[in-house]
């Protein structure tokens, strides 16, 4: 049923409250069923490095993060997700979606996906180009597969939509496979059923790859899914209603709008070798969903344009001659990649860029014939990275001997293996307000690429400054967002609690220590004032209790104790414990629900400005409706018209 009915119906009010609060705390994501298919076909493992090229609003990104954290006992999986979007404002919606999951393995960046920069990482004391194990390429599209629910499509759809988008879709897909490691998987998907946005892009990609890419047969990966195989022949129609079945029929006046790559591949052998039937076309009537297209590509070898020795521009050769005072010196094939890579990355030398795969990640695909005069290439002029939108605070990693660590180390008795180098803050000067943690792999990416990429957000908050805490030995209190990441390293300040203790802590504003059960009360009395971890360990002999560990941040006061937990998470834990949390819209109940105790507001009020920006974007989207179809603007700057589902 529609959002409107769920929101307005008195009978469903309780259910609506449940949906909103659980979505806000990251325990539920509402999403179109077919939109969930691409991440499933990527076959994510916790060690995979993943690039999500057109990620906003972030529902698929949330799936990817969830898959990385398949083993909840591992606080820092080896893999990570770099989620990109071209639209600066939509990046904050993406941050809002991703931050609900409290992962140290997600980084949100703001770039045009068709020319997203190659990143460098330290590997065995040398610089290497970062190649991804998995790439999700959910490109901007005309959205005609959403016509069942999206009234806009009926009014605005024309045949020229796909003609305008095809080039962008192909450029994004090409950039995706360039940054994919050999043996990696890339999923290309659209919510359009137009072959010019679907099979035409895949066929052009396969043709460019000259055997380096292969369409994978994913039919066994989702048993029971109904779909049609991809098509191998189609015609092209202009806005005026003219049909073309071959490039040779297109008049010269149309050559800028209609390109050869939009037509089906020629020749039965070529068509058979591409296996376009392995693409998946999911039609709305198959299982009462939206329309969707998915193709899974596997990279078998480096892309062919990176194996060839590039020709040098004439002006480059002559300048070389001038510098050497003699005849033009053409660099040897071994020297050329080094020379090109230095220039391509704005003058930053790449010490070990010597593989074809790394070359393609750095330089990208060649332009189409005719685009570059005689087809020669050379070092482009170095360009300064243009940044749009809000200027982000810096990401500053702490050193192991940073003065903040001494108090934290002794107060929380951090274990020796605590990764201090993975802690960062957002300011170079002044007092540090919050401390965040990232995985060591993302730290590697951040340190080596601060000039190359615009990072919007990364890291999970683990400590927040609390000036009152200084008199008790530590100026930083634990943050609920990062408690599951940090707690394995915290060896003191832990109070073991039982179910009744959690009920008291989450329903009473500032309960006296005596309100706790005897065991927890005794532990709290022996502990000094300050931040604490309240830890519930499940009892398998009592199935009526929650069978998962619960960890809450708290504050041990002089005679009382309180939980520092955001409102929606409080509601979540209380529901798990069987406590009725529904508040009727009439009377005092609603007042308590909306305002809550002052302390609750205080904890929730400590938001970073990136959260505030996300909230600005969120105003147009009801909480929880950041589904794949929840975009109010065009995805990646296209005319995508996916509506709020």
Residue-averaged pLDDT of the chain: 81
Element housing 524 (H / E)? helix 518-525
pLDDT at 315: 43
Quick one: pLDDT band at residue 533, thresholds 50, 70, 90? very high
Quick one: pLDDT band at residue 320, thresholds 50, 70, 90? very low
pLDDT at 585 > cutoff 70: no
Confirm whether 137 is a catalytic residue.
no
pLDDT at 280 > cutoff 70: yes
List, as one string, the DSSP characters of 180-249: EEEEEEEEEEES---TTTTHHHHHHHHHHHTTSEEE---TTTSTT---EEPPS---EE-TTS-EESSGGG
pLDDT at 362 > cutoff 60: no
Query: What's the maximum distance between 2 C-alpha atoms anywhere in the chain?
Result: 91
What would the mean pLDDT of 452-477 be, rounded to a whole number? 87
Q: Which of these, 469, 464, 475, lies nearest to 425 by C-alpha position?
A: 464
Quick one: pLDDT band at residue 469, thresholds 50, 70, 90? low
pLDDT at 611 > cutoff 50: no
Token pair belonging to 591? 């007042």
Quick one: pLDDT band at residue 316, thresholds 50, 70, 90? very low
pLDDT at 284: 94
375: left (phi over 0), alpha (psi -120 to 50) or beta: left
What would the mean pLDDT of 529-535 be, rounded to a whole number? 93
pLDDT at 355: 52
List, as one string, the DSSP characters of 99-154: HTT--TTEEEEE--GGGPPP-EEEETTEEEE--EEEEEEE-----GGGTTT-HHHH
* CA Rg value for the chain: 27
Task: Quick: pLDDT tens for 182-232.
Answer: 999 999 999 999 999 999 999 999 999 999 999 999 999 999 999 999 999
pLDDT at 343: 35
pLDDT at 13 > cutoff 80: yes
Quick one: pLDDT band at residue 454, thresholds 50, 70, 90? very high
pLDDT at 123 > cutoff 90: no
The CA distance from 644 to 149, in Å, is: 9
Quick one: pLDDT band at residue 459, thresholds 50, 70, 90? very high
Active-site option among 105, 191, 279, 474? 191
The CA distance from 115 to 174, in Å, is: 10
pLDDT at 619: 35
250: left (phi over 0), alpha (psi -120 to 50) or beta: beta
pTM to 2 decimals? 0.80
Q: Which residue has the tokens 């730290």?
A: 443
CA angle, residues 180, 183, 185, in degrees to nearest 5: 60
pLDDT at 30: 87
pLDDT at 377 > cutoff 60: no
Instruction: Output the CA torsion 150→156→159→162 (10° steps).
Output: -60
pLDDT at 12 > cutoff 50: yes
Quick one: pLDDT band at residue 618, thresholds 50, 70, 90? very low
Quick one: pLDDT band at residue 390, thresholds 50, 70, 90? low
pLDDT at 22 > cutoff 60: yes
Per cent of the chain over pLDDT 70 is 77
């Amino acid at each position: 049923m529609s959002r409107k009915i769920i929101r307005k119906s008195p009978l469903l009010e309780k259910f609506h409250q449940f949906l909103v609060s659980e979505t806000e705390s990251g325990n539920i994501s509402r999403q179109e069923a077919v939109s969930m298919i691409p991440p499933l076909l990527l076959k994510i493992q916790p060690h995979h490095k993943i690039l999500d090229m057109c990620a906003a609003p972030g529902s698929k990104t949330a799936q990817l993060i969830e898959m990385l954290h398949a083993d909840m006992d591992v606080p820092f999986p080896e893999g990570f997700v770099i989620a990109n979007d071209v639209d600066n404002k939509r990046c904050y919606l993406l941050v809002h979606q991703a931050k609900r999951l409290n992962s140290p393995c997600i980084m949100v960046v703001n770039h045009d996906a068709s020319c997203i920069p190659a990143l460098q990482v330290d590997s065995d004391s040398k610089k290497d180009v970062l190649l991804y194990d998995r790439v999700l390429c959910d490109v901007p599209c005309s959205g005609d597969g959403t016509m069942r629910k999206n009234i806009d499509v009926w009014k605005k759809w024309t045949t020229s939509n796909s003609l305008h988008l095809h080039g962008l879709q192909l450029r994004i897909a090409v950039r995706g496979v360039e940054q994919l490691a050999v043996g990696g998987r890339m999923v290309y998907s659209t919510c359009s059923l137009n072959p010019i946005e679907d099979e035409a892009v895949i066929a052009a990609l396969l043709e460019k790859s000259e055997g380096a890419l292969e369409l994978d047969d994913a039919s066994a990966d989702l048993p029971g899914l109904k779909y049609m195989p991809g098509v191998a022949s189609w015609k092209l129609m202009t806005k005026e209603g003219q049909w073309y079945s071959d490039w040779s029929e297109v008049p010269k006046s149309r050559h800028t709008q209609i390109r050869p790559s939009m037509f089906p591949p020629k020749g039965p052998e070529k068509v058979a070798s591409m296996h376009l039937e392995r693409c998946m076309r999911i039609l709305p009537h198959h299982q009462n969903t939206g329309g969707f297209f998915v193709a899974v590509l596997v990279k078998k070898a480096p892309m062919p344009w990176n194996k060839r020795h590039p020709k040098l521009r004439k002006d480059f050769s002559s300048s070389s001659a001038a510098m050497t005072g003699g005849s033009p010196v053409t660099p040897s094939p071994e020297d050329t990649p080094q020379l090109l890579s230095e220039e391509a990355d704005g003058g930053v030398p790449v010490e070990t860029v010597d593989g074809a795969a790394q070359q393609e990640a750095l330089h990208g695909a060649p332009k189409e014939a005719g685009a570059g005069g005689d087809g020669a290439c050379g070092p482009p002029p170095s360009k300064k990275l243009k940044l749009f939108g809000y200027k982000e605070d810096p990401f500053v990693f702490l050193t192991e001997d940073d003065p903040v660590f001494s108090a934290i180390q002794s107060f929380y008795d951090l274990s020796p293996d605590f990764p201090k180098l993975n802690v960062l803050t957002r300011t170079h000067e002044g007092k540090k307000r919050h401390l965040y943690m990232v995985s060591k792999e993302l730290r590697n990416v951040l340190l080596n690429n601060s000039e190359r990429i615009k990072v919007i957000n990364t890291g999970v908050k683990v400590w927040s400054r609390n000036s009152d805490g200084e008199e008790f030995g530590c100026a930083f209190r634990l943050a609920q967002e990062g408690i599951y990441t940090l707690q394995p390293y915290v060896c003191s300040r832990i109070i073991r609690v039982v179910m009744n203790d959690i009920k008291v802590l989450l329903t009473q504003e500032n309960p006296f220590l005596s309100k706790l059960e005897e065991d927890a009360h005794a532990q709290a009395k022996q502990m000094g004032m300050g931040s604490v971890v309240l830890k519930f360990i499940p009892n398998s002999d009592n199935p009526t209790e929650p069978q998962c560990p619960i960890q809450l941040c708290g504050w041990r006061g002089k005679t009382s104790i309180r939980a520092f937990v955001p409102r929606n998470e409080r509601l979540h834990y209380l529901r798990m414990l069987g406590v009725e949390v529904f508040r009727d819209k009439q009377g005092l109940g609603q007042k308590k629900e909306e305002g809550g105790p002052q302390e609750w507001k205080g904890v929730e009020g400590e938001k970073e400005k990136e959260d505030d920006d996300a909230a600005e974007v969120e105003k147009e989207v009801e909480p929880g409706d950041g589904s794949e179809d929840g975009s109010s603007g065009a995805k990646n700057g296209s005319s995508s018209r996916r509506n709020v589902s």
